A and B are shown apart, each in its own frame.
Chain A
């Protein structure tokens, strides 16, 4: 988990990363507010705190040929791949203008045009699916890599182990990225896992495994760039244990009493947005005023998304029979 120097990056690149992370943070805050107002229902899993993982990773792939799959905690990935916040918020509101026409909701964001193959609600289900997407890329010779995000909880599903073995023996270009936020619902990793460093599991499948500092967007970007390059050229899988933290409860209904305030505060000190901001200030890539302005813009983006969602039409009743078969 080596530290990085911001110096080698140009201002625009850094500003883009910062913008994306701020966009996600402000979007999630709005989503929480709208949940409180009952505009959004069901399970709503927020991404606050984990922004660097989606943003740093997505910056390292080529969405023209690479694919991304993730779990139900998918708002951050959806925004990072460039989905319109309006369309994402509309989906959370269950509106016709949402990406899944109001059928999928918070847990099932998809954008096939951006090679974003979804939010999956079944813990671990996306792991073999991503493996199959990588298989298809290899089969068709597209040079594409599949980037598969899943939680620390998902790693104990048989699907994870079956997939790694398949990908290793068949030489599939897939990156298995554990978003290790240290908890699966209320369960701390160490209570249910034989090891705390998941990267060691890679050895069992004879593939590369590394731990990554997921609070630092540039570390994530650099590790992923290397992993993507390797997966693409060698057509081999790898496993990355990206350490991060979720600031909110598991979903909106979870008061998160299983962890201490101090632990949360400790991670907030390494907040991915503040970390990048500090570097950019130090390197003269950003002023406090520019940051404020950018932040305000992202608050407006989130607010505009809410307005768009509010004003959008409900799906018509007869649409229940649509999207079931061709």
Chain B
């Protein structure tokens, strides 16, 4: 085991897959000579050369579309989006083409492209640069969407994503690239579509994905001091969604709090909360609570931007509510 940062775990995955399969290449803004805006691709240009590590112009729609073309023509592109805010320009190619190629061609084509980069709020960046946009992507059949929050999951899921014959979008977090954790020396994969219980507990289930995982784990510690034993389910994959792991946990604890840093309407969080209400109705001892971002664009002011996002305090408050602790 090695204790490494998420950015290094991602780089290891890229390097291993590029060594394993020469159809794999990476492109994006600043991925080569600058070693990546967030240093995920550090050293890859030196190792693999400019034929496989390509710095693109600032043209998200164009180079993502190029990736789609390369994918249906037999390559395995990894497209780095500098952030998901800028990937909005590329969504036409992702939603109308990557996600639909197999279907429109009656199964003749596959589009094994991976699009990855940081998603979700960072700090002091205001409305255009601090958005959790996963709801837009998970909405789309034909796409797979993964959202790791530990180095182990990041590496294992990226390797699976590159090997997958479907288009996979991977949500990372600017604020989490430096988070460290254990990663095995030997090769491993994390399967797409499998949630992971990050903490076992019996009183309440916290369901979370991406960077708020840390908030959930911290809330669980605080709750333990209040004699509430929380289980933390990390979804890891948003599409396909591991419903069984969610239900198994909720059927054990009979209470659920869903945490999602996106806006509340038509989100992963609201969908999961509905699934639980629908499928675990008889086992629930309280209504399902959702802790999400306030339904407003992100303000620049730091106090305000923290106030609009999920927090440990908000999670604890929601748990007290479902546990009827006054």
**Which residues of chain A have a CB within 8 Å of any CB of chain B?**
40-43, 91, 94-95, 100, 102-105, 107-108, 120-124, 153-154, 156-158, 184-187, 191-193, 258, 314-315, 317, 319-321, 324
Contacts and interface: CB of A to CB of B under 8 A. Distances in A.
A258 B34 contact: yes
Contacts of A158: 59, 61-62
B296 interface: yes
Contacts of A192: 55-58
B128 interface: yes
A317 B304 contact: yes
B8 interface: no
Interface stretch (B119-127, B153-161, B231-239): B119-127
A212 B240 CA distance: 54
Interface string B117-140: 000001111111100000000000
B308 interface: yes
Q: Give the one of B128, B297, B299 with max A CB within 10 A.
A: B299
Interface residues of B, number: 36
Interface string B29-40: 110011001000
A100 B299 CA distance: 10
B85 to A, nearest CB: 7
Interface of B: 29-30, 33-34, 37, 55-62, 85-86, 88-89, 122-129, 294, 296-297, 299-304, 307-308
Given A158-B62, A192-B57, A258 B33 contact: yes
B58 A154 contact: yes
Contacts of A100: 300
Nearest to B34: A186
Given A100-B300, A319-B304, 12 more contacts: A41-B302, A42-B122, A42-B124, A42-B129, A103-B301, A121-B85, A157-B58, A185-B37, A186-B30, A187-B29, A258-B33, A320-B299
Contacts of A153: 57-58
Q: Which of A40, A121, A314, A319 has the most CB of B within 10 A?
A: A121
Contact of A320 (B60, B85, B86, B294): B294
B58 A123 contact: yes
B58 A156 contact: yes
Closest 10 CB pairs of A and B: A42-B124, A41-B124, A105-B300, A156-B57, A94-B301, A186-B34, A121-B128, A192-B57, A102-B301, A153-B58
Given A192-B55, A192-B57, A315-B299, A103 B307 contact: no
B57 A314 contact: no
Given A191-B55, A314-B301, A320-B296, A103 B127 contact: yes
16 contacts: A41-B302, A42-B300, A43-B125, A100-B300, A102-B304, A107-B128, A107-B129, A156-B58, A157-B59, A187-B34, A187-B55, A191-B33, A314-B303, A315-B304, A320-B304, A324-B297
A138 B164 CA distance: 52
A186 B58 contact: no
Given A102-B299, A105-B300, A314-B301, A42 B125 contact: yes
Contacts of B56: 192
A107 B34 contact: no
A102 B300 contact: yes
Nearest to B130: A42
B194 to A, nearest CB: 35
Contacts of A103: 126-127, 297, 299-301, 304
B60 to A, nearest CB: 8
Nearest to B122: A42
Contacts of A102: 299-301, 304
A152 to B, nearest CB: 10
A67 B83 CA distance: 30
A186 B33 contact: yes
Contacts of A105: 124-126, 300-301
Contact of A42 (B33, B58, B123, B307): B123
Contacts of B299: 102-103, 315, 319-320
B80 to A, nearest CB: 13
A210 B173 CA distance: 42
B300 A104 contact: yes
Q: Which of A186, A193, A319, A324 has the most CB of B within 10 A?
A: A186
